[in-house]
Structure 1
Amino acid sequence: MTLSSYAQGLLAVTIATVALSTAGLMTRLVAIDGPTLLFLRGAIASVFLLVCLLASARGRVFADFARLGWSGLVICATSAACAMLFIGALYTTSVAHVAIIFATCPFVSAGLAFLILGERPSRSALVASGVALAGVLVMIGSGEEGTLAGDALAFAMTFMVALWTVLVRRHPDKPALPSTIVSCLMSAAVALPLASPLAVSSHDLLVVLVFGVFAFSLGFLLLTIGSRYLPPVESALIGALDAPLAPFWVWLFVGDTPADTTLIGGVIVLAAVCIHILSARWTAAGSVAPADN
């Protein structure tokens, strides 16, 4: 059975979200400052993905990078900004505040997609986004104070993620691997002057190595691929799964028991995303049914 482009996009973005949701767990397992973590993560990911590109493209490596063009470099820079702002937000405000601010991403994506692409979001996507936002509000009902600077970084990250999904949707011809490699190199280069990679312990380096390869590298690559086939509002909606998944990984590996509000809100977010995906599938099936008669 061959999956449609839309189904491939859903699968890729969902797997990417699960992988990238482990970022909060990584920050709990290491004692590294933000710039050093950003540098190591970007450097490790870029080296790993470059090896993958060399193995798969062989004689087409330089041609693939050349295909990026100026629009591709803008996408890379936007992606790098997302990573830098995300790490900065995690280190300067509460995880709860980052979650609630990022939960507005589907609405920002919908607005940008309409302005830049002329795409009107489906009613079901907007309703599901609203339900997901309500779920995140329930999750932080126990209250956790943030900081003005950290919240500003989270807002900037949310806008940049929304812009990135729209740009990837607008330029689906840009090669995913080179784009992700350049993005990782950009974030690592910006962080390097403030980083202290030689002071990192072997334990922390191993943790960042594992997460850099299996979570960040593959997660961002799949997100880049999947976002080509989905409306930006839907990519952002699936990304809202990060809110319940992040505390789940911390509970599973560190043992921190989430509050009841986190569990209830997480179920609401998960239900909103799942119902929307099923609704989209039923709509697609209904639209092709007459052709089979």
Structure 2
Amino acid sequence: MSPTPSRWSDLDRPPLSATALRAALVRPGGLWTRLDITDTTGSTNADLAEAARTGAAAPGTVLVAEAQTGGRGRLGRSWDAPPRSGLFLSVLLDPEADGVPVERLTWLPLLAGVATATALARAAGVDTALKWPNDLLVRVGGEDRKLGGILAERADGGVVLGIGLNVSLRADELPVPTAGSLALAGAPTVDRDPLLRAVLRSLAQWYGQWTAAGGDPAAGSLQSAYAAGCATLGRRVRAELPGGGELSGEAVAVDGDGRLVIATAEGTRHEIAAADIVHLRAT
């Protein structure tokens, strides 16, 4: 009889230590007030939103899952991954209580993209690009692959911000051929502990700058940082709109509201607040 799989069954993917992470990240006066790790769950976003609704979680709470079986992305998409093969986390924040007007909350997922990309460049040694509005890309085999995504959802007591990253996924474990991972991108380390610490510290830093500026993306350098790291800008794209229909043209800017500005061949400019963006090959 084969032994029952445990958290230590795959030695290349050791479990995270909640005790060590709390000691490193939960500090008096810091953004993070609580950090919990669960072995497996359907969705950390759903769990944290429910905890916020019942008063069991306050702003600053971090929830990490070793395995996520029903992770949710944009447009209702779902996905899962092998246990301990990635970083699956959600945080509860209250930007309005921290001085950000409601009309500037659209920048929160973009901020998370900048913070995560910055952290991975430093901690994983891999260049990470942003695909508007909330995907992270890495180069694998000479092409852009999706490394992870970000999902922000309103909840009682603030906003639940979810981040999912493929860390050690191998080629035969990819959910779709267009996906990638830090391992496949040649990262010198796939140790999730320092990667998670780097992501949460970077998120706290960028969030602090943004809230200190009253949510103004220009004053807090967020808008320029996003533009500098956005692989969508300057490319021909097709925007598949939520209500049906599509729009093609060149992505020329991200405006002050976080919308993607697309210039069509006819010379008109359109501000897109929500869409599925497809990067088109140059002709």
Structure whose residues are more often strand by fraction: 2
Same fold judged by TM-score > 0.5? Answer: no
- Greater relative contact order, per chain length (Cα 8 Å cut-off, separation 6+): 1
Structure 1 length-normalised TM: 0.27
